[in-house]
């Protein structure tokens, strides 16, 4: 908890839903394997993927 007068730190949060038709691709299992292999969290991998997507799409426009 922040002390009186200190600004609160906010964290941006995102939650994802994996549609049933995509669930067959074992998304979470595959992410866990990659996270273990790279010694990173699943969150780290997902954020990196989002940033790469945004960079790529923003270059197109």
Domains of the chain from N-terminus onward: 20-60 (1.10.1220)
The pTM is what? 0.73
Interval 6-34: pLDDT, tens: 777 777 888 989 999 998 999 999 999 99
Looking only at Cα atoms, what is the longest distance across the chain? 50
Is residue 1's pLDDT more than 60?
A: no
Residue 40, C-beta contacts closer than 8 angstroms, at least 6 positions apart? none
pLDDT-derived band at 54, boundaries 50, 70, 90: very high
Give which of 18, 6, 10 is closest to 42, Cα–Cα: 18
């Amino acid at each position: 908890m922040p002390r009186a007068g200190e600004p609160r730190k906010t964290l941006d949060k995102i939650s994802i839903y994996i549609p049933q038709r995509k669930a067959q691709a074992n998304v979470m299992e595959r992410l866990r394997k990659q996270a273990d292999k790279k010694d990173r969290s699943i969150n780290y991998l997902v954020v990196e993927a989002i940033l790469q997507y945004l960079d790529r799409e923003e270059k197109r426009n």
